[in-house]
Amino acid sequence: MASDSPTGSKDAWDKLPALSGLLAAVLVPLALGLAGHWYSNAIQERETALKEKEFAREWVQLSLDILRTPQATPDQEALRRWAVKVINHYSDSEIQMDDTLQQDFVAGRARLPEPPTPGENRARTVEQLETEALNALLARDIDAAIAAMQAAWEAWPEFRTVQEALALLKQRRERLGPEADAQAWRSLYGDLRATMDVRGIDPETVERLKRAAEGG
């Protein structure tokens, strides 16, 4: 009967590194190839999804433009009906137009408003933030005022008077703590009135600033 020998065991252990190297030589490239294939497919799927979204966005934008026309004529009704179908197709079920609204758009009785321009949106944001800053100052909260004015400047860095008002607030910060006297605040209010463009700012806030600057 044959028995295991130290020599046979040694031969098996000697062959193990060679076998491991062979497996690594085969499996590693295979794993890399599979990973590369998966990654390539993922990229292609993402590109396809992005193209589909862009395609849908273009059709929806075209349909919105059609429904913004002021009135419908008989030769436009088919086009408007198509535009309504496109918008409903790409809308969630909860916000799709009902039959009555669809008919109103097709007949021209309903009309989409013109979208605001980016400049109008930005100006409105700045005006709201300036109003917030002034209200904070009237409550003698210099830090909140600086934060709001900083946000206004970040929304529109080219707005010169916002930049100047922000610089003024930062210069006066040290003198306008909780213990600042009324004269220091009145001085700031007056300087802000001379610096800021108050058109578009809440009129009531502007009037309060005027009275505060005058000591009222």
pLDDT in tens, 51-76: 666 767 787 888 888 887 766 677 78
Higher-pLDDT residue of 101 and 36 is 101
Domain boundaries along the sequence of the chain: 25-113, 118-213
CA–CA dist 142, 174 (Å, integer): 9
Q: For 5, phi and psi rounded to 5 degrees?
A: -120, 155
In the predicted model, what is the mean pLDDT of the chain? 78
Question: In the structure, what pLDDT confidence band is assigned to residue 84 with cuts at 50, 70 and 90?
Answer: confident
For residue 105 the two structure tokens come to: 């758009």
CA–CA dist 200, 196 (Å, integer): 11
What mean pLDDT is predicted for residues 97-119?
75
